[in-house]
A and B are shown apart, each in its own frame.
Chain A
Amino acid sequence: MTTDGLDLLQGTLDVLVLRALAGKPQHGYAVARFIRESSDGTFRIIDGALYTALHRMEERGWVESEWGLSEKGKRAKFYRLTAAGRRALRSEAATWERYVAAVGKVLRAEPA
């Protein structure tokens, strides 16, 4: 992780976390690792914010948590998407893609 990575845009962290949980339940560290690795270290992630996001999402009912054992047999807190979380992921991802597409269009357009 490099210190000169990009700052995350406001509200983007949620969709990344949701995406990280789209598969099987994960603990917080795995979520952080997933985002780091799948973005090739592009984003400068504050891990504290990630945990805050996870707990907020649990309060909002997007994820559920349960204590389990990690791959190495240590006690860890696992998060799983709820149905509401899946719906949130779909709509957030769609919004994000529309946003990216729109920004891309503008950037490619020739000014008159």
Chain B
Amino acid sequence: MAESSWRRYLRFWRPNLEADVDDELRFHFDERTAALTATGLSIDEARRQAEREFGDVGAVRNGLREIDGRLHATRARANHWDQWRQDFTYSARSLRRVPGLSFTVILTLALGIGVNATLFSLLDRVFLRMPAGVSRPAELRRFYWIGTSVNNQAIAVPEFSIPVADGVADVLRGLAVTTVFRNDTRRLGDDREPSTVVTGVGPRYFSVLGVQPSFGRFFAPDEARYDVATPVAVVSQAFWSRRFGGSPADAIGQTIVLDKQRLTIIGVAPRHFTGTELDATDAWVPLGMTSAFATFGQAPAGRPAWYQSQTMYAFLLLARPVNASAAARLEAAATVGARRWFRNPRLQKNARVLTGPIIAARGPEGRQQEIAISVRLGGVALIVLFIACANVANLLLAHAMRRRREIAVRAAVGISRGGIVRLVLADSVLLALGAGIAAFLVASWSSVLLRRLLFPTIHWSTSAIDWRVVAFTLVATLVAGLGAGLLPALRSTRTDVSQVLKSGGREGSTQRSRARTFLVVAQAALSTVLLVGALLFVKSLRAVRALDLGYDAERLVFVSTQSHGERWGSGVTAGSGPLAELASRLAHVPGVEKVALTSMLPMYEIDLSKLFYANGDSLPPWTDGAPTVSGVSPEFFATTGLHLLRGRLLTPSDLRAGNVAVVNQTLARSSWPNDEPLGQCLRLGKSGPCATIVGIVEDARRVQLIERPVRQMYLALRDSGSYSPGGILVRVPPERAAAVEHEATRMVATLFPGVEANVRRMADVLAPQYRPWELGATLFTIFGLLALLVAAVGVFSTLSHEIGQRRHELGVRVALGATVADIIRLVLGEGLRVIVIGAAVGSLLALAAGRLIASLLYGVDPRDLSAFATVVAVLLVVAATAAVLPAWRASRTDPLEAIRAD
């Protein structure tokens, strides 16, 4: 075998190819000439005759060389592939002999690649993918405006009011074509149908996006007008086939029901077009048709219609500039147009309009916390993959060491360096392919889960797994396979043949595993980074949960009523209206501790009022915008758990006597920094009645868990107007909350037929605000634990392997009198020393990386010492656990057997 392959390789050299032909022909002529001389011809005659018989020697020789050249090229190609096939077959066979190693490697890589594919699936959709079906989407611009928010933070807001949007559209005429739209989650059909995404669109929506109907037509200019509500709709093909099946062409002329109104389908959108948002739009209707606006459309007397309202910022504004130079001028022009239409004088002077790409996540809008989390998770996923690769490289290195003797034998019989590299790489590529398949399975499950976790309300327009994710997984697999396999492969080529064969495959202690030690250090370091991150998120969640909102959110149930989309039962006498009646009945429900009436449900509704000193002066400016004033019944404070700091609370007699107020600490301090607030009075409006301050209570939140202190004032409930009863607060023990919720809903239905009950636990109202914190903590912890698991496997397998390699040495030690404890101490010590170095390096990295997540943390310093200490301790415990088994095995080394082996 060695002989023939030697020959084969030599023959492939081109000079030999030509010499071969010459040799063959020379042999022929020699033989023929000899044969002819034997018949009596002279040498010259014989040679001439042989040449005559042969024909044109030059031409034949060239012909033969050409044929052989072709033949050689074909064979070389076949040979190449054959080599790889052989290596892979061989590799598969040898890996089957080490199922433990193969399983560990595949599992580790599958986790590493799987989490990356999962994150890729999400980030690709959120950040990279242009909306499908839209023509030249890169040209489209999305508008934002910057004013001043409630809490004085400048943030870019994508929602415009119709008058401002129209003002912008006006000034942009000639530069760009604009349109407005808004997405709502509504039910199409009756209550049994799942909710769908309905896009209300303004004029020119489809033409701005450059979309043509597949069937039927889109809205005519008359149908898209704001001041009419034409009952027509365009549906997506996906929605049509999901709901009704059959050909989308049949949809034209059919009707669908939206909020009890029958809409005629006039068009079907092209196949892949599902709007411009992450949500997949199922149906498009004129803005005037979507239910919310139908309600606003029948505005009560005195209130403007939705399209005239200057306070209703609810519409997204898109534009397609006519050319690049127009695109550059959009922001400046739009700013001028928008300022004309803002009502607020400050906005008229300061507001700015910005534009961003059609992909919302890349725009100037303050990033959603969920998106910020997913970006960082992408980084974390990469780190997990690094750890996995380091671990796999380590395992393969150990595996390659075990195969040293085999490789040395192969080297001795003349296999090339490239051949050895190929052999070892085949192992890792094969393992990576197995891992890639497993990773794909992991990803197809977890990417759906991650979407649901991070963005539960989005009706995704594309499935989580598509060819892009498959391609990503494939590339990641190959890169990981090559990355993890290269180091072991290169090291195997440095095998010193004679030494290995002589020493019987034992490693020299000098070169023992410097590379492997480095890899374990790297794993420990990266795990430290991830675990510190995870712990910081957990601590931050704990800090957010521990926030004192002022209210006992866990114990509160909100009850309000509405009819035809309007608040119902309010604006009537505080003591005897339907809400008061409902409240007094609720007080008798078992488990209910307290019931209060209020004009405004805390952290659910908002009020911004103007307050003045008794002499008509404005209050000093404060960071919170305007103060919040609410009307409350005397039981409000006991029900919500707001504590009195000074003075007294409201009493039933205040309801009749009127003008007294309780204020929060911030309002008291900011308005009378030097005087006694009690006994002072505040006016609602410059010349309104003056309310005397009788008590000071602790601060409570206005809308957000985390916000600057706001000024709050509580008045005794009025019989009518803004401070009359609007909702009921019920205080219950947390375990009774669900039952009381149910009872309240039932009570409204029996007491006031036809009236809708809106019953919610305050904890549920606040849940969305806690969610990002919980998500951060959960996801980072999952990733951190994954990393820890992988690193633990790394420590375990490295130590196990090392013990195996050092049996001889350990045997000698035992023979020389080392005790079991000595050996265990030796092995554990070596294992832990590596981890300590890794943890130290990791801590430094984590310190540096801290600022990357600082914006996502609350109430915890990214350099939190206790977090670092905890992580290092956990790492050491895990490493020690992983090292115990190999150490114990080492201590049982039988000296005789170990020394005799080999």
Closest to A55 in B: B67
With A46-B55, A49-B55 as contacts: A29 and B28 at CB distance below 8 Å: yes
Write the B734-748 contact mask toward A (1 if CB under 8 angstroms, else 0). 000000000000000
Shortest B569–chain A CB gap in Å is 95
* B30 neighbours in A (Cβ, 8 Å): 74
Stretch from B57-65, B450-458, B605-613 contacting the other chain: B57-65
Min C-beta distance of B765 to chain A, whole Å? 80
- A48 engages B56 (CB within 8 Å): yes
* A89 located at the interface, meaning its Cβ lies under 8 Å from any Cβ of chain B in the complex: no
B367 at interface by CB-CB < 8 Å = no
Could you tell me the distance in whole angstroms from the C-beta of A64 to the nearest C-beta in chain B?
11
Bound-complex Cα distance A59 to B123 (A): 54
A58 within 8 A of B: yes
- Determine whether B6 belongs to the interface, using a CB cutoff of 8 Å to chain A: no
Interface string of B14-54 (1 = CB under 8 A from A): 00000010011101101110010000000000000010011
> B54 to A28, Cβ gap below 8 A?
no
Q: In the complex, which residue of chain A has the Cβ closest to the Cβ of B36?
A: A1
Nearest B residue to A27, CB-CB: B27
Q: Which residues of A contact B53 (CB under 8 A)?
A: 1, 45-47
Please tell me if B70 contacts chain A, counting CB pairs below 8 Å. yes
Identify which of A29, A46, A59, A77 contacts B32 (C-beta below 8 A). A29
> With the chains together, A59 CA to B67 CA distance in Å?
7
Size bracket of the B interface:
20 to 34
* A24 CB within 8 Å of chain B: no
A38 within 8 Å of B by Cβ? no
The distance in angstroms between the C-alpha atoms of A55 and B63, with both chains bound, is 9
B60 touching A48 by the CB < 8 A rule? yes
Taking the complex as formed, is B68 at the interface, i.e. its CB lies under 8 A from any CB of chain A? Answer: yes
B60: contacting residue among A27, A33, A52, A77, CB under 8 A: A52
Question: For the complex, what is the distance from the CA of A59 to the CA of B53, rounded to whole Å?
Answer: 25
Q: Check B27–A70 contact: CB distance below 8 A.
A: yes
Alpha-carbon separation in the docked complex, A56 to B64 (Å): 8
> Chain A residue with minimal CB distance to B70?
A59
In whole Å, how far is A40's beta carbon from the nearest beta carbon of chain B?
Answer: 15
A29, A52, A58, A67: the one within 8 Å of B63 (CB): A52
Instruction: Identify which of A47, A49, A55, A76 contacts B27 (C-beta below 8 A).
Output: A76
Contacts of A27 in B (CB 8 A): 24, 27
Q: In the complex, which residue of chain A has the Cβ closest to the Cβ of B25?
A: A51
Let me know if B71 is at the binding interface, CB within 8 A.
yes
CB proximity to A under 8 Å, residues B838-866? none
Closest approach, in angstroms, between the C-beta of B796 and any C-beta of chain A?
Answer: 53
Contacts of A52 in B (CB 8 A): 60, 63-64, 67
* A55 vs B62: C-alpha distance when bound (angstroms): 12
Best-buried of A46, A47, A70, A77 by chain B (most CB within 10 Å): A47
Contact between chains at B60 and A51 (CB < 8 Å) = yes
Please report the C-alpha to C-alpha distance between residue A49 and residue B24 in the assembled complex, in whole angstroms: 14
| Smallest beta-carbon distance B117→chain A, Å | 45
User: Is A105 at the interface (CB under 8 A from chain B)?
Assistant: no
B10 CB to closest chain A CB, in angstroms?
10
The reply to whether A59 and B24 contact each other, CB–CB distance below 8 Å, is no
B610 to chain A, nearest CB (A): 98
Give the docked Cα–Cα distance between A70 and B32 (Å). 14
Most chain B beta-carbon contacts within 10 A, residue among A27, A33, A76: A76
Q: How far apart are the CA atoms of A28 and B149 in the complex, in Å?
A: 96
Give Cα A6–Cα B56 distance, bound, in whole angstroms: 19
CA of A79 to CA of B25 in the docked complex: distance in angstroms? Answer: 14
With the chains together, A58 CA to B7 CA distance in Å?
A: 18
Given A59-B67, A77-B24, the answer on whether A29 and B31 have CB atoms closer than 8 Å is yes
A108 within 8 A of B: no
Complex-state Cα separation, A45 to B592, whole angstroms: 118
The residues of A that contact B32 with a CB separation of less than 8 Å are 29, 32, 47
Contact with B along A46-78 (1 / 0, CB 8 A): 111101100110110000000100100011110
Given A51-B60, A77-B20, CB of A28 within 8 Å of CB of B67: no
**Chain A residue nearest to B7 in the complex (CB):** A67
Assess the B67–A47 pair: CB atoms within 8 A.
Answer: no
Which residue of B27, B28, B32, B50 has the most chain A CB atoms within 10 A of its CB atom? B28
A51-B71 contact, Cβ under 8 Å, with A45-B53, A77-B23 = no
Q: B35: which A residues are within 8 A, CB to CB? A: 33
- Which B residues are in CB contact (< 8 Å) with A70? 27, 31
B51-92 interface mask toward A, CB cutoff 8 Å, 1 = contact, 0 = none? Answer: 001111101100110011011001000000000000000000
Query: Do A77 and B71 touch across chains, with their CB atoms under 8 A apart?
Result: no
Residues of B within 8 A of A29 (CB): 27-28, 31-32
Residues in chain B near residue A46, CB distance under 8 A: 53-55
A89 to chain B, nearest CB (A): 20
Closest chain A residue, CB of each to CB of B66: A55
Q: Are A47 and B68 in contact (CB under 8 A)?
A: no
What residues of chain A lie closer than 8 Å to B7, measured between beta carbons?
67
CB distance from A58 to the nearest CB of B (A): 6
Q: Is the CB of B71 within 8 A of A59?
A: yes
Partner of B55, one of A33, A47, A58: A47
Q: How far is the CA of A45 from the CA of B55 in the complex (A)?
A: 10
B52 to chain A: closest residue by CB: A3
Report B214 CB to chain A, min CB distance, Å.
56
List the B side residues contacting A76 at CB < 8 Å: 24, 27
B27 touching A51 by the CB < 8 A rule? no
| In the bound complex, CA of A54 to CA of B285 (Å) | 80
How far is the CB of B48 from the nearest CB of chain A, in Å?
13
A74 to B31, CA, bound (A): 10
Bound Cα distance A32, B28 (Å): 9
With a cutoff of 8 Å between Cβ atoms, the chain A residues found around residue B28 in the complex are 28-29, 32, 47, 51
**Chain A residues, Cβ within 8 Å of B25:** 51
Instruction: Quote the shortest CB–CB distance from A10 to chain B (angstroms).
Output: 16
A47-B55, A48-B56, A48-B57 as given contacts; A74 in contact with B71, CB under 8 Å: no
Cα A77 to Cα B24 in complex, Å, equals 6
Q: A52-B60, A52-B64, A59-B71 are in contact. Are A74 and B55 (CB under 8 A)?
A: no
Given known contacts A1-B53, A47-B53, A47-B55, A74 and B27 CB-to-CB distance under 8 angstroms: yes
Contact between chains at B54 and A47 (CB < 8 Å): yes
Measured in the bound complex, the distance between the Cα atoms of B56 and A75 in whole Å is: 24
| Chain A residues within an 8 Å CB radius of B23 | 75, 77
Is there contact, CB below 8 Å, between A51 and B24?
yes
Judge whether B27 and A58 touch: CB under 8 Å.
Answer: no
Given the complex of chains A and B, what is the CA–CA distance between A6 and B60 in angstroms? 21
Residue in chain A with minimal CB distance to B27: A76
A48 CA / B62 CA spacing, docked (Å) = 11
Complex CA distance for A40 and B382, rounded to whole angstroms: 81
Complex Cα distance, B54 from A55, in Å, reads 15
Nearest CB in chain A: distance from B69 CB, A: 10
**B20 to A55, Cβ gap below 8 A?**
no
With both beta carbons as reference points, the residue of chain B lying nearest to A56 in the complex is identified as: B67
Q: How far is the CA of A32 from the CA of B56 in the complex (A)?
A: 17
Interface residues of A in 65-98 (CB under 8 A from B): 67, 70, 74-77
User: Whole-angstrom distance from the CB of A29 to the nearest CB of chain B?
Assistant: 4
Residues of B within 8 A of A49 (CB): 55, 60
Q: Which of A51, A52, A76 gathers the greatest number of chain B CB atoms within 10 Å? A: A51
Interface string of B288-330 (1 = CB under 8 A from A): 0000000000000000000000000000000000000000000
Question: Other CB < 8 Å A-B pairs besides A51-B28, A76-B27, 19 of them?
Answer: A29-B28, A45-B53, A46-B54, A48-B56, A48-B59, A51-B25, A51-B64, A52-B60, A52-B64, A52-B67, A55-B64, A55-B68, A56-B67, A67-B7, A74-B30, A75-B23, A76-B24, A77-B20, A77-B27
Partner-A contacts on B (CB < 8 A): 7, 20, 23-25, 27-28, 30-32, 35, 50, 53-57, 59-60, 63-64, 67-68, 70-71, 74
19 contacts between A and B (CB under 8 A): A29-B27, A32-B28, A33-B35, A46-B53, A47-B32, A48-B55, A51-B25, A52-B63, A52-B64, A52-B67, A55-B71, A58-B71, A59-B67, A67-B7, A70-B31, A74-B27, A74-B30, A75-B27, A76-B27
Which 6 pairs across A and B sit closest by C-beta, in order of nearness?
A48-B60, A48-B55, A47-B54, A29-B31, A46-B55, A55-B67
